[in-house]
Amino acid sequence: MKNYKLLTPGPLTTTDSVKKEMLFDHCTWDDDYKVITQKIRKQLLDLGHVSEEKYTTVLMQGSGTFGVESVISSIIGKDDKCLFIVNGAYGERMVTMAKYHDINYTEIKQEYDELPDLNLIEETLKYDKKITHVMMVHCETTTGILNDIKSVGVLSKKYNKTFMVDAMSSFGGVDIDISDCNIDFLISSSNKCIQGVPGFSFIIASKEKLINSKGKARSLSLDLYDQWMGMDKDGKWRFTSPTHVVLAFSKALDELIEEGGVKARFERYSNNNKLLRKRMKEIGINSYLKEELQSPIITTFILEDNKFTFKEMYDYIKERGFAIYPGKLTKVETFRLGNIGEIYEEDINNLCDIFTDFLKEER
């Protein structure tokens, strides 16, 4: 099979050195392995600018969604109520989870191309006294919009709520000071901006709030507190851990630090994104979001030309070395391009040349 680079928001293109780490079959109860788990947990706290004194990291098997569901089903108690702030499909997925687990909730829905309304959030927190938790997505990968978690964090703190953030597609690529944003639970996964391979999610949690959640979990395998108890003692995962993925992730974290940390990675992603939008605009393909709302992670482009289908475009571009991503909007025909992972300026230029050729083809 011909190789291609992924322009999807995860899994994404990883380095050969990260992939090579997976050539070792590690024993899960071996001390050497448990040390790696602990090293990862510590490095993730450092990335979030928080200390072991107040925060801890829990690694959870499964994709990112499992991490989100672990938090929702373990942290929000029977007598609690969660405010979900929704402006995309990942926000909607949280609400679906709350329904599955019979959790009390309310939601504030926003158009997908708009930031959540802070006044409305404040009014809701002021008048609905039953609300105990607030949850939202940082970068809504549905569109690529970057939500203002800092301002919502300020409101959460003002009204004394537990604040939970799905920072799946941004953590490691956009700097987040967890404590400064008043975040109590932050969720991300192995295969996004840290540039590992898929297989587990991680939760950076306020120790105090995690301790308070003891006994609230509605699922055995997703019990966040119980997973923490096992892991915190000696680095042992409760059930079979994705050993190869863990080794690759440890290497990916080291490579993130070598690159210059989140700051340097943010620069590279931002430059990729700016170049991508500029060149696409030059060939007549416009982005869906207003520039000031755009994250440096993924961009939604509008498909105005009906002379070809997404599938035709996908195949043409795949043949030439890149996998692109379909849109996730119902009202407008779109497609998406992620620019995270081992992707550099040269790749973006190559990709845009391919798009240019594709549009020039006779149909």
CA 259 to chain centre: 20
Closer residue to ligand PLP (CB): 166 or 184: 166
Cα separation, 314 vs 354, in Å, equals: 11
What's the rounded Cα separation, in Å, for the pair 286 and 334? 10
Q: How far is the CB of 343 from ligand PLP (least distance, A)?
A: 16
CB of 71 to ligand PLP, least distance (A): 11
The candidate with the shortest Cα–Cα distance to 30, out of 232, 250, 235, 226, is 235
Q: Which helix (H) or strand (E) holds 83?
A: strand 82-86
Asked whether 218 and 78 are in contact (CB, 8 A), the reply is no
Question: Please, which residue, 68 or 155, has the CB nearer to ligand PLP?
Answer: 68
Site residues (vs ligand PLP, CB under 6 A) = 9-10, 63-65, 68, 90, 137, 141, 166, 168-169, 189
CB closer to ligand PLP out of 109 and 281: 109
**CA–CA distance, 204 with 58 (Å, rounded to integer):** 7
Minimum gap (Å) between residue 284 Cβ and ligand PLP: 28
Q: For residue 30, how far is the Cα from the chain centroid?
A: 30
Cβ proximity to ligand PLP, 73 vs 141, nearer residue: 141
User: Closest CB to ligand PLP among 144 and 235?
Assistant: 144
Report, in Å, the least distance between residue 11 CB and ligand PLP. Answer: 9
* Shortest Å distance, C-beta 172 to ligand PLP: 12
Provide the minimum distance between the beta carbon of 125 and ligand PLP in the complex, in angstroms, as a whole number. 23
CA dist., res. 62 & res. 185, Å (int):
18
Q: Give the span between the Cα atoms of 229 and 236, in whole angstroms.
A: 9
Smaller CB distance to ligand PLP: residue 170 or 206? 170
- Which is nearer to ligand PLP, 125 or 137 (by Cβ)? 137
Query: CB nearest ligand PLP: which residue?
Result: 64
Closest approach of ligand PLP to the CB of residue 316, in Å: 26
CA pair distance 230, 34, nearest whole angstrom: 11
| CA distance readout (Å), 237 to 11, 35, 217, 240, 343 | 23, 12, 17, 7, 32
